[in-house]
Structure 1
Amino acid sequence: MSTRWTVRNFLWGEAPSTKQERSLLLKLDFFILSYTCLVYFTNYLDRSNINNAYVSGMKEDLSMEGTDFNKVLTIFTCGYIVGMIPNNLMLQILPPRIWLPLCQIVWGVLTFCTSAVTNVQQLYAIRFFQGMAESSTFVGTHYILGSWYKPGELGKRSGIFTSSGLAGTLFSGVLQGAVYSNLNGVSGRSGWRWLFIIDGVITLPIAFYGFWLFPDVPATTKVFYLSEEDRQLATTRLRGYVEVKHSPLSWKLAKRVLTRWRWYACSLLFAISGETESFGSNNLMGQWLKAVGGYSVEQTDYYPAGVTAFGIFSTLVCATWTDYTQVRWPVLLYMSGSCIVASICILVWGSPTGLKFFAYYLAGASYSGQATTFAWANQICADDDQERAIVLASMNMWNNVVNAWWSIVFYPATDAPRFKKGMIAMIVICAATIAVTGLVWYLENREHRLGRRLENRTTSENEQEEKQTVVRLT
């Protein structure tokens, strides 16, 4: 095999053997990834703008005090938790091309509303319902990706999707800095209010794109750009990898989910490992810069973008590597190790400012585990379509259950700039992530061993039965 094809296979997976399958993958990559990445970009843009708005004048305009900012984050998280599983179950009832864009329209309108709030109580109410609507995107997309792609194709697509959300966070800081410089005070509106208006304008057109071109799942797709042969191939190419049958919901689903290890172990894994993202999700670097002083509003918006930039780089490299090797767990070790080093550097408060910048940027590695963990769960639950939908939703739900109180306890705004107890908590959570990663790896391998034994025993019994039949006939 030539070097060119070796590099191509590493970066994008093994090329399909037929022209029709190559054409199908090209269509899927364009229409699925273009829409889901744009949705997640606006999802994170609309979500993370609250962090940038807070350090760009919203705190003063709304007279926010103490832990008001942490409460805003927590209330959003509560809405996110409430909407998680219902949103993923709705994908079993309504076509994803209807439900996902509809939710996007809801949160886009709420983003517009945020620009007009006059007190923090109004902000609480809007962010709760925005969280409910936005919870449809992340786990819904991972479910869709797992419905179309083989395990060797899944990690890098998950990584690209996840990175698009990080790009929204990255762009939000740059956008807020530009808005503050150019629109602050225009038409009597503060710069942070203009940010929400612009975010809403960006969000709504993408929803209409989804209504038109998003392909649903293989069993129900009716989009014009997939022929009947494409639809059949989309199903047959996944046999032996992913359960593609679309069955009606029943109470048997609850029994299957609750009597297997997958729901418990995968939920525990992301409930814990997802908290490593606290560096970025709580904008600790931005709060640190604002608290120590000496930085302009624009610098406070721009500098934390480095955390997200390194997160995007780590996510894409790790996702590509895991697809090539078909081994997911080392990424979680890399992520945990990076966050432990970053926490120690920040805990040693007498360390140089440059080292603290390095530590916060290194902590961007925490984002690399997100795509890998959900690709791993898709792979683990590939033989049961409905269980996969529940497990993916539950993973994100339990992570957000922890998120609901984690920032208030360990990262209150009043602890800026040091966040001492938060850094200690980060070290503990990273150690726990390593332990649970080992547990999931063990349980997955045990299931595979038991499955092989059962398969071998069944084959042996069938062969024995055939021999006895031959003997009787002779």
Structure 2
Amino acid sequence: MLSWRKIREFVWGEVPSSKEERTLLLKLDWFILSYCCLMYFTNYLDRANVNNAYVSGMKQDLNMYGNEFNRINTIFTCGYIVGMIPNNLMLQVVPPRIWFPTMQIIWGVLTFCSSAVHSVQQLYVIRFFQGMSEASTFVGTHYILGSWYKPGELGKRSGIFTSSGLIGTLFSGVLQAAVYQNLNGVDGRSGWRWLFIIDGIITLPIALYGFFVFPDVPATTRAFYLKDEERLLAYERLDSDTVHHKLSWNLFKRVLSRWRWYGFSLLFGISGEVESFGSNNLMGQWLSAIGGFTLILSDYYPSGVTAFGIVSTLVCATWTDYTRARWPVLVYMCVCCTIAAICILVWSSPIGLKFFAYYLAGAAYAGQATTFAWANQVCAGDDQERAVVLASMNMWNNAVNAWWPLLFYAAPDAPRFKKGMITMICTCAATLAVTWLVWHLERRERHRGGARREEKSQESSAAS
């Protein structure tokens, strides 16, 4: 029979050895995860609400035509890409408890501004700067999680954080329906304008919460809820071999002379595209094309893809903390998405099998938290390199994602997306290959590090 400690370790990560460390971990979980998850929730809510606003009257009010909506998303992505590395490096200069909430206030104010635009060109400018400010959240939080948590604790926390964004996607549709039904036309404003206003109202209080409770990083924390001995414990319980460099141009030499930047950027640049089933709402397009479903059901059923993604993310993250192996999650993700693509590629397959395939493809979301936890773990010895690697992973993924759907999931190919399904199978195969490469390079580095430590130990013994 499993002991309570084993169950606790499997569900919530490595169990601290002392009561003091358990209390510390409880405080960190509450204050770090509560703020970061709420921040990411509003981040995703903002992105999803642009899509909701477009189909709820914004297109007509702003006289949008052609590819203008696609340009809005492309311009946002450009700002997001530009902002990623600078945002993560600013966490080395400005305390995170100041930087994160400040960026959140900026994108909250810009969200309010979106409710007052009278032309799509004004929205272009707003969305670019929103992309730059929102770039602080995802990679910045993964950097913070890697600064506070041990490898055996990191996967589950990364999974919870990632899932909060997916929950924001689920909630956005509900919010859009409620706002449009109850506020459309109130005070002379269209429902889509109220959608942005409500979004901003949700965002700003969470930013203020961050100013008060976010604990920075262990070396500099002054959080009111941590005792002096807890601050010291937070610092000492992590890897003492971590090097804290001053920010300088030498950073780029360190990063580019190691395999980690290349390996993890390539890994997430490719594996992130396995999420294309959900991010391009392929199931929704399929349901609309085949008919027989009401508009409400066509909006409702694809939520199952996100829901399965949340479950997969949390289960896989829990498993990786228990086993300390990250790569099997990527194998699981690729196997599921390959099966899904084959089921859809065989277009004569029954509708029930296609439902199963689309929902199974939600497993793609599980790789996100695991891949960033893996990079955090490998780069733990150099804070600045870790910040750049994490930011670059998401930067390259977004750089690929800016053109990927246009080539492989273009609207004229709906609902079969034959080219997209073949590409999905190839992407899964490429992800498996790069996963093996990263695993091999990490293993080789670990063995070389162990050999060097053994040599130093032998030299010390001989000298004494």
TM-score greater than 0.5 by the shorter chain: yes
Q: Conserved in 1, the CA contact under 8 Å of 2:104 and 2:134?
A: yes
Alpha-carbon displacement from aligned partner over 1:374-431 (angstroms, at most 9, x marks no partner): 0000000011111111111111111111112112222233433333322222222111
Q: Conserved in 1, the CA contact under 8 Å of 2:100 and 2:137?
A: yes
Q: Secondary structure at the match of 2:219?
A: coil
Residues 181-200 of structure 1 aligned to structure 2 (within 5 Å) = 181-200=181-200
Structure 1 residues 140 and 429, CA gap change in structure 2 (3 angstroms): same
Aligned to 2:223: 223
- Aligned partner of 1:126: which letter? I
* Aligned sequence identity (%): 73
Structure 1 residues 125 and 169, CA gap change in structure 2 (3 angstroms): same
Q: Secondary structure at the match of 1:351?
A: coil
Structure 1 residues 256 and 6, CA gap change in structure 2 (3 angstroms): same
Structure 1 Cα separation of the partners of residues 290 and 127 of structure 2: 29
Structure 1 Cα separation of the partners of residues 124 and 189 of structure 2: 21
- Aligned partner of 1:194: which letter? W
Aligned to 1:13: 13
- Say which of 403, 406, 414 aligns to 1:416: 414
- Aligned partner of 2:434: which letter? V
Structure 1 Cα separation of the partners of residues 120 and 339 of structure 2: 36
Structure 1 residues 211 and 319, CA gap change in structure 2 (3 angstroms): same
Aligned to 2:305: 307
Aligned to 1:448: 446
Q: Which stretch of the first structure deviates more once superposed, 431-440 or 245-254?
A: 245-254
1:285 matches 2:283: yes
Q: Conserved in 1, the CA contact under 8 Å of 2:274 and 2:427?
A: yes
1:75 matches 2:113: no
Structure 1 residues 334 and 406, CA gap change in structure 2 (3 angstroms): same
Aligned to 2:252: 254
Structure 1 Cα separation of the partners of residues 59 and 421 of structure 2: 25
- Aligned partner of 2:74: which letter? T
Deviation of 1:119 (Å): 4.0
Structure 1 Cα separation of the partners of residues 198 and 249 of structure 2: 44
- Aligned partner of 2:432: which letter? I
Structure 2 Cα separation of the partners of residues 71 and 342 of structure 1: 30
Aligned to 2:394: 396
- Aligned partner of 2:281: which letter? N
Unmatched tracts of structure 2, length 5 or more: none
- Aligned partner of 1:330: which letter? P
Aligned to 1:365: 363
- Aligned partner of 1:103: which letter? M
- Aligned partner of 2:157: which letter? R
1:377 matches 2:348: no
Structure 1 residues 102 and 85, CA gap change in structure 2 (3 angstroms): same
Structure 1 residues 88 and 327, CA gap change in structure 2 (3 angstroms): same
Structure 1 residues 403 and 265, CA gap change in structure 2 (3 angstroms): same
Structure 1 Cα separation of the partners of residues 118 and 340 of structure 2: 38
Structure 1 residues 183 and 414, CA gap change in structure 2 (3 angstroms): farther
Deviation of 1:127 (Å): 1.8
Aligned to 1:135: 135
Q: Conserved in 1, the CA contact under 8 Å of 2:14 and 2:321?
A: no
Q: Secondary structure at the match of 1:223?
A: coil
Alpha-carbon displacement from aligned partner over 1:148-177 (angstroms, at most 9, x marks no partner): 010000000000011111110111122223
User: Structure 2 length as normaliser, TM-score?
Assistant: 0.94
- Say which of 271, 274, 290 aligns to 1:273: 271
- Aligned partner of 1:164: which letter? S
Structure 1 residues 420 and 168, CA gap change in structure 2 (3 angstroms): same
Q: Secondary structure at the match of 2:218?
A: coil
Q: How many residues align?
A: 464
Q: Secondary structure at the match of 2:220?
A: coil
Structure 1 residues 362 and 50, CA gap change in structure 2 (3 angstroms): farther
Q: Conserved in 1, the CA contact under 8 Å of 2:62 and 2:118?
A: yes
Deviation of 1:64 (Å): 4.3
Structure 1 residues 2 and 331, CA gap change in structure 2 (3 angstroms): closer
Residues 26-105 of structure 1 aligned to structure 2 (within 5 Å) = 26-105=26-105
Q: Conserved in 1, the CA contact under 8 Å of 2:409 and 2:420?
A: yes
CA RMSD of aligned residues (A): 2.0
Structure 2 Cα separation of the partners of residues 404 and 396 of structure 1: 12
Alpha-carbon displacement from aligned partner over 1:332-363 (angstroms, at most 9, x marks no partner): 01111111222222223333333333222221
Structure 2 Cα separation of the partners of residues 250 and 97 of structure 1: 23
Q: Which stretch of the first structure deviates more once superposed, 169-178 or 139-148?
A: 169-178
Q: Conserved in 2, the CA contact under 8 Å of 1:55 and 1:300?
A: no
Structure 2 Cα separation of the partners of residues 376 and 182 of structure 1: 45
Structure 2 Cα separation of the partners of residues 351 and 121 of structure 1: 45
- Aligned partner of 1:361: which letter? Y
Q: Conserved in 2, the CA contact under 8 Å of 1:81 and 1:401?
A: yes
1:122 matches 2:122: yes
Deviation of 1:16 (Å): 1.4
Structure 2 Cα separation of the partners of residues 276 and 450 of structure 1: 33
Deviation of 1:246 (Å): 4.1
Structure 1 Cα separation of the partners of residues 461 and 59 of structure 2: 74
Q: Secondary structure at the match of 1:14?
A: coil
Structure 1 residues 60 and 364, CA gap change in structure 2 (3 angstroms): farther
Aligned to 1:161: 161
Structure 1 residues 13 and 360, CA gap change in structure 2 (3 angstroms): same
Structure 2 Cα separation of the partners of residues 387 and 410 of structure 1: 34
Structure 1 residues 221 and 373, CA gap change in structure 2 (3 angstroms): same
Aligned to 1:470: none
Structure 1 Cα separation of the partners of residues 92 and 288 of structure 2: 45
1:430 matches 2:428: yes
Structure 2 Cα separation of the partners of residues 186 and 355 of structure 1: 45
Deviation of 1:296 (Å): 4.3
1:343 matches 2:338: no
Q: Which stretch of the first structure deviates more once superposed, 205-214 or 280-289?
A: 280-289
Alpha-carbon displacement from aligned partner over 1:70-111 (angstroms, at most 9, x marks no partner): 333222111110000000010011000111111111111222
Q: Conserved in 1, the CA contact under 8 Å of 2:326 and 2:370?
A: yes
Structure 1 residues 290 and 76, CA gap change in structure 2 (3 angstroms): farther
Q: Which stretch of the first structure deviates more once superposed, 12-21 or 31-40?
A: 12-21
